[in-house]
């Protein structure tokens, strides 16, 4: 029987991390990317592979828009569909109202998540209901945009499988390039020429996903495709959370019709 987070009561998942870990970690930054206090740079080698030259034909580089919202997730644990914050706590236990709206939305859409998630898997995405540092006019778009899917071993699923499994139910970020490295300048130019999510302000940046067809058996030459690493670029003049009440001292700004999520 499919259940949702709303059925969890008392001294259980509301006050601990259902996954036993964070839902999503931090992606290292490319050179000249604006970094926060807790952020870190990627290696020179990773930057070169993503933006300049592949190691060989076995690398595949995907570049997508980095959206500016709240990083959230949905996990299937013992048949439960559980809405999570980035830190891994249940969304309903968050002190922020936008996460309570998210929890309600997941509860209403639990059958959609159940279709794409196997036991122990989780989907991660951006919750764009409330403006952080970039405003969007979402119009007919949902405020949830999926960008990663993890299997029951906490491994990222390949991009093509992500599209196959997730994109039938949910949106994914604007894809700017697949296959070869592209420079940050080229990625930003392509981003500026396409505005899928109707951003009103400057977009935050881009994420590079590097996949590799890696040798897993040297004797037989057998290979297996996997996600090797992710890196990101955030524009240097980006200012975090300028539309959040805690920063602006003004009421929250919403990117879509709030009545649908209350």
Domain boundaries, the chain: 3-261
Which pLDDT does position 125 carry in this prediction?
Answer: 98
**Predicted TM-score (pTM) of this structure:** 0.91
Q: At a CB cut-off of 8 Å and minimum separation 6, what does 46 contact?
A: 28, 210, 229, 231
**Is it true that domain 3-261 has CATH number 1.10.10.10?**
no
The larger pLDDT score, comparing residue 14 to residue 180, is at 180
CB 257 within 8 A of CB 136: no
> Is the confidence at residue 83, as pLDDT, over 70?
yes
Distance CA 81, CA 74 (A): 7
The larger pLDDT score, comparing residue 81 to residue 139, is at 81
Per-residue confidence band for 152, with pLDDT thresholds at 50, 70 and 90: very high
Average confidence (pLDDT) over 53-75: 98
Which pLDDT does position 85 carry in this prediction?
Answer: 98
> Is the confidence at residue 128, as pLDDT, over 80?
yes
CB 94 within 8 A of CB 106: no
Per-residue confidence band for 14, with pLDDT thresholds at 50, 70 and 90: very low
User: What is the DSSP secondary-structure string of 189-249?
Assistant: HHHHT--TT-BSS---EEEEEEEEEEEEETTTTEEEEEEEEEEEEE-TT--TTTTSHHHHS
Which pLDDT does position 72 carry in this prediction?
Answer: 98
Average confidence (pLDDT) over 180-196: 97
Which pLDDT does position 15 carry in this prediction?
Answer: 54
């Amino acid at each position: 029987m499919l259940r949702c987070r709303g059925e969890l009561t008392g001294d259980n998942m509301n006050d601990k991390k259902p996954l036993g870990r964070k839902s999503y970690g931090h992606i290292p930054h490319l050179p000249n990317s604006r970094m926060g206090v807790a952020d870190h740079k990627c290696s020179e080698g990773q930057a070169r592979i993503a933006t300049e030259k592949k190691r060989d034909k076995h690398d595949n580089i995907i570049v997508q828009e980095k959206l500016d919202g709240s990083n959230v997730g949905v996990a299937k644990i013992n048949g439960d569909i559980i809405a999570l914050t980035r830190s891994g706590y249940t969304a309903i236990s968050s002190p922020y109202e936008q996460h309570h709206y998210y929890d309600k939305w997941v509860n209403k859409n639990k059958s959609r998540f159940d279709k794409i998630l196997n036991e122990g898997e989780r989907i991660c995405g951006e919750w764009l209901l409330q403006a952080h540092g970039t405003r969007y006019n979402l119009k007919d778009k949902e405020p949830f945009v999926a960008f990663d899917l993890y299997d029951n071993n906490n491994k990222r699923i390949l991009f093509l499988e992500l599209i196959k499994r997730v994109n039938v139910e949910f949106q994914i970020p604007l894809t700017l390039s697949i296959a070869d490295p592209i420079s940050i300048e080229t990625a930003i130019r392509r981003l500026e020429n396409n505005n899928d999510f109707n951003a009103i302000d400057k977009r935050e940046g881009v994420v590079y996903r590097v996949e590799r067809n890696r040798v897993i058996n040297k004797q037989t030459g057998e290979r297996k495709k996997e996600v090797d690493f992710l890196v990101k670029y955030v524009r240097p003049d980006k200012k975090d959370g300028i539309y959040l009440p805690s920063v602006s001292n003004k009421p929250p700004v919403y990117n879509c019709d709030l009545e649908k999520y209350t």
